[in-house]
Amino acid sequence: TLIVPENNARVAVFGLVKNPGYYPLPESENFTVADAIALAGGQDKRAELKNVLVIRRPQGNNGMPTVITADVKSMLRKADPGGNPVVQDGDIIFVPETRKPDVFGKILPALTNIGLIYYYLPGGR
């Protein structure tokens, strides 16, 4: 009888992804941060892919987790593999929100309101 061990390796993907949560880590040696984000349904439109955090389990005796900043945006644009580290069992991946203003969601409606106010002011037409 051949006994195949069960793969319990998991990765957590949180932050601005479409389906945050815990996912089984595929047995591929080249499963990267970008792959994990894709596994979680891809990034939200407000995601900041330049500063994705990878929080790795403590190694050795110091008890402190390792935090890696992954520039997934650069990897996607320039095919630079350096910004896309390989995921390990137990990694937590956090996709932060961009600090850029949400032009279409917040600024554009405000400008529209300003335009309407100006339109209805005396002499505004």
Considering the domain boundaries, does residue 75 fall inside one?
A: yes
Quote the number of domains for the chain: 1
Is 96 within 8 Å of 53 (Cβ atoms)? yes
What's the CATH number where 82 sits?
3.10.560.10
Residue 58 token pair: 């403590």
Is 105 inside a domain boundary? Answer: no
pTM for this model (two decimals): 0.73
Q: What pLDDT, in 10s, does the model give residues 75-115?
A: 777 666 667 899 999 999 999 998 765 555 555 555 555 55
At residue 111, φ and ψ (nearest 5 deg) are -65, -35
Residue 116 lies in a domain: no
Rounding to the nearest 10 degrees, give the CA dihedral for residues 77, 82, 88, 91.
-70
Q: Is residue 3 part of a domain?
A: no
Residues of the domain holding 29:
10-98
Q: 108 in a domain, yes or no?
A: no
3-state secondary structure 34-58: HHHHHHCCCECCCECHHHEEEEECC
